[in-house]
A and B are shown apart, each in its own frame.
Chain A
Amino acid sequence: MTVNGEVVTRDVEARLLLVHFLRDELGLTGTHWGCDTSNCGTCVVLYDDEPVKSCTVLAVMAGGHDVRTVESLEWEGQLDPVQQGFMECHGLQCGFCTSGMLMSARALLDRDPDPSEATIREAISGQICRCTGYASIVRSVRWAAEHPAGGVG
């Protein structure tokens, strides 16, 4: 599979979950493991540009596919606007759900660059945040929509 633009080849057990492959085999610990039942969304990554919960994907299923994690968002030293938006608008507290939220936000903005509040809430409704009460996450995504080229340095 391709992970964050690099081709990765490994022999793994058929039952290994993608979330554990990313974390334990590749050391990409930005993707978190939160529930096992696909309810919490802390493990969301982009899978061929679509957000998926990596605890529902077997690593072997990802063979031949393109996987992107939170570690790929920063590009040549420049934070992605969604990363900047979460910082500007206090879209995170403990940071544990943040990676998944950022990836869902990135996927949303890729297909809808100017989403409404309702659209944003729908897009992150498969994910749980225990800290923020979501309003600041919604504002963070709106900030990113309004600053497609990022912030003022």
Chain B
Amino acid sequence: MTTTTPMGHGRMLRKEDRRFVRGRGRYVDDLQLPGMLHLAVLRSPVAHARIVSIDTLAAEAHPKVKAVVTGAMLAERGLAWMPTLSGDRQAVLATDKVRFQGQEVAFVVAEDRYSARDALELIDVEYDLLEPVVDVRRALDPDAALIRDDVPGKTDNHCFDWETGDAAAAEAVFARAEVVVRQELVFPRVHPAPMETCGAVADYDRIEEKLTLWSTTQAPHAHRTLLSMFAGIPEHRIRVVSPDIGGGFGNKVPVYPGYVHAIVGSIMTGRPVKWTEDRTENLVASGFARDYVMQGEIAATREGRILAVRSHVLADHGAFNGTAAPRKFPGGFFGVFTGSYDIEAAYCSMTAVHTNKAPGGVAYACSFRIAEAVYLVERLVDMLAAELDRDPVSLRMQNFIRPDQFPYTSRTGWVYDSGDYPRAMELALQIAGYDELRAEQAERRARGAGEPLMGIGVSFFTEAVGAGPRKDMDMLGLGMADGCELRVHPTGSAVVRISVQTQGQGHETTFAQLIAEELGLHPDDVDVVHGDTDSTPYGLGTYGSRSTPVSGAAAVLAARRVRDKAQLIAAGMLEVAPDDLEWSTAQGGGRFDVRGVPGSGVTIQEVAMRAHGAGDLPDGVEGGLDAQISYNPDNLTYPFGAYICVVDIDPGTAVVTVRRFIAVDDCGTRINEMIVEGQIHGGLTDGIGMALMEFIGFDEHGNCLGGSLMDYLIPTALEVPDWETGTTVTPAPDHPIGAKGVGESATVGSPPAVVNAVIDALAPYGVRHADMPLTPSRVWEAMQGRAAPPF
């Protein structure tokens, strides 16, 4: 039925597609358990208010309702508040106040979906309205309302301060620099909006005292640990199952109150309970992304040598700090804001604040805030190019970290593992036909009125993915390692169990390919088990482009451990020393032969049978052919890429059309070219979405203005071009097969390319900068000289 590359690395069709194209995926909401009840959540209609009273009597009297639960009831059980991944706390159900529109106030468990919703209408909540804090720039004003009065001693809306780099060194460089460009850059709040919303089915077995939770989680093991610590259920009695996930993009990393509601509902009723949020709930209340106001500065010589980059960031973290980032990195990996350039000094200070908005922050394929960092530096470099009247490509080429400088330690302390930036940029220029594009642009501008405004935007990004080294990185004390367990059966087929979880990235295929390549098996003879904490080894899950860098390395090293053992067994079978054997896969399968005598030896399948069989094994070698590993990376991996976007703007309507998008990505060794390309295509679409249309805005009352897909606009097939991609390969030196993460590269790298293209198109209008989203109205305002930030 399908054609496959017979072995290992290559364009192999995906194993998981067989069920998806038949409509046989197994998503959380597809689950139907005997006696299952349905849960719906009552949410706050306002952004900031004291709860005066909640009357649930009418809801409880509904004939199909089994339970109605309020914050007060949870408080009696010590479950009203739960920890967030950032060490803050978040209300499971509001007890004292509501702090953002859409916050969870009560929940109903009923016999069916619709009855649960009906009963929400019967709950009467009296709110005493408070002044909402909506404007991030005024959150720390002395007269701003206090949001977090639940925290003892708290007197303002300050969340945290953070800094990186050398302030004095940066100041010295800026003081003497010939050219300095400054700009406020707003990266507005956006939302990952996976096609599948969040949900869970909780089934608490009172006899076994065991909880099974099917949930839309990108990190099932981490969720198990958190739920155990918070709910007091012993961890070995919690099984978290993350079945097929309909897209994650970071939205499904946090533990949401709804998961806890389902658990409490099941414990109370003794029956399985399903919770599935609707689209509005997903957009209004679950993990958002970005929301940074960045004051950016870049210093350079008149000859275009970039000397320093500096920024101050005002970060809106919403009502609770629900961001998911390693503990020592409250600003995520924003520290890589020096980008791909070899500079003398850098400094960033960050002030994070609370507002009356939904919690979140690290999501939407941002690689822990690298999306924000790349946007900052790539806009600044383009503005510097405009200031110096330089071509944005040549300015970048002049300042790139050179290939001979790797490993390169940045001014903020990041050790870039490998790279060849000029090569990637040159390939992008070649695919784009850059000189011809510039000539066309000049010609169109010369023709003048009535012509579409043509813009060419360039961006170059370096990512830092694959968190992360135990010495630096943990989440709530959990090291960011990943496990792998590999079993080779007597007949030579294998099962590999991994701690990461696919949300569409194709793990069932690529991990089979990894094992197949290492053991000389056919990928069809390797099955991948993932997403079930009872049957997979511990690890922190799939986000931050970490599956291939961390878990992929674990799988390769487990396979190599198996192969080392197989070599000992093969040596025994052939009665030679292990060192006299050589491994090959040249005959279409893995085998050990006596060195220099092809065909003399045994296949991996024969070794597997011996490992489990009755024959003698060498002294000290146990039976079986299995391996287990927990992999802790030494460093992150640093994928990079060069992107070029071509836009046309209708001068009469200010509508931006993306005509072409060229993306050259270097993610080191590629396991499955087809899957890598797919990851890049999706990210480029994200970038066009963020740059041109996606926006979670708020009115002055704190009402979310992006609460449905009619208001929160996502690109369709009509808003994106066919993608033109290119590849360079610079292997990662610290990864066993040289692979780097790629899942977020395009999401991170593409927004500045689109914005740079739009600004380039508007150059004849004297436009220096305009903030995202570059909707027709915002572009029109910029053309009229009235560009203003979105908030």
Contact = CB atoms under 8 A, between A and B. Distances in A.
Interface of A: 13, 15-16, 20, 23-24, 27-37, 39-40, 42, 69-71, 73-74, 79, 83-84, 86-88, 90, 92-99, 102, 117, 120-122, 124-138, 151, 153
A95 to B, nearest CB: 3
B35 to A, nearest CB: 15
Contact of B196 (A73, A96, A153): A96
Interface stretch (B329-337, B441-449, B498-506, B553-561): B498-506
Given A88-B13, A125-B717, A135-B722, A34 B25 contact: no
B113 A20 contact: yes
A137 B717 contact: yes
Contacts of B506: 93
A77 to B, nearest CB: 10
Nearest to A17: B114
Contact of B23 (A71, A94, A151): A71
Q: Of B16, B21, B245, B720, which is in contact with the most chain A CB atoms at under 10 Å from its CB?
A: B21
A47 to B, nearest CB: 17
Given A40-B709, A130-B247, A93 B678 contact: yes
Contacts of B22: 30, 70-71, 73-74, 79, 83
Interface in B41-80: none
A15 B677 contact: no
Contacts of A70: 21-23
B434 interface: no
B511 to A, nearest CB: 16
- Chain B interface SS verdict (over half): loop
Contacts of A130: 192-195, 247, 249, 682, 685, 714
A60 B22 CA distance: 26
Contact of A92 (B17, B192, B196, B714): B17
Contact of B678 (A84, A96, A128, A131): A131
B195 A42 contact: yes
A133 B23 contact: no
Interface in B261-311: 276, 278-280
B710 A90 contact: no
B14 interface: yes
B605 interface: no
Q: How large, as a class, is the contact surface on chain B?
A: 35 or more
A13 B279 CA distance: 23
Given A36-B280, A137-B717, A94 B247 contact: yes
Contacts of A120: 717
Interface in B243-271: 244-249
Nearest to A31: B23
Contacts of B677: 90, 136
A60 to B, nearest CB: 14
Contact of A90 (B196, B678, B684, B720): B678
Given A16-B114, A125-B718, A27 B195 contact: no
Contacts of A42: 195
Interface in B215-260: 244-249
Contact of A34 (B279, B675, B678, B685): B279
B586 interface: no
A120 B717 CA distance: 9
Interface stretch (B26-34, B97-105, B398-406): B26-34
Contacts of B197: 34
17 contacts: A32-B27, A34-B279, A37-B279, A37-B708, A39-B709, A40-B195, A70-B23, A71-B23, A73-B21, A79-B22, A88-B2, A95-B17, A96-B246, A98-B25, A125-B716, A130-B714, A153-B1
B114 A133 contact: no
A95 B16 contact: yes
Contact of A133 (B18, B20, B192, B681): B681
Q: Of A70, A96, A120, which is in contact with the most chain B CB atoms at under 10 Å from its CB?
A: A96
Q: Of B23, B678, B683, B723, which is in contact with the most chain A CB atoms at under 10 Å from its CB?
A: B23
Contacts of A30: 22-25
Nearest to A133: B681
B682 A131 contact: yes
Nearest to B22: A74
A124 B720 CA distance: 13
B674 interface: yes
Nearest to A118: B718
B114 A13 contact: yes
A153 B2 CA distance: 7
A132 B678 contact: yes
Contacts of A79: 1, 21-22
Given A87-B14, A129-B195, A134 B720 contact: yes
Nearest to B197: A34
Nearest to A16: B114
A88 to B, nearest CB: 7
Nearest to A95: B20
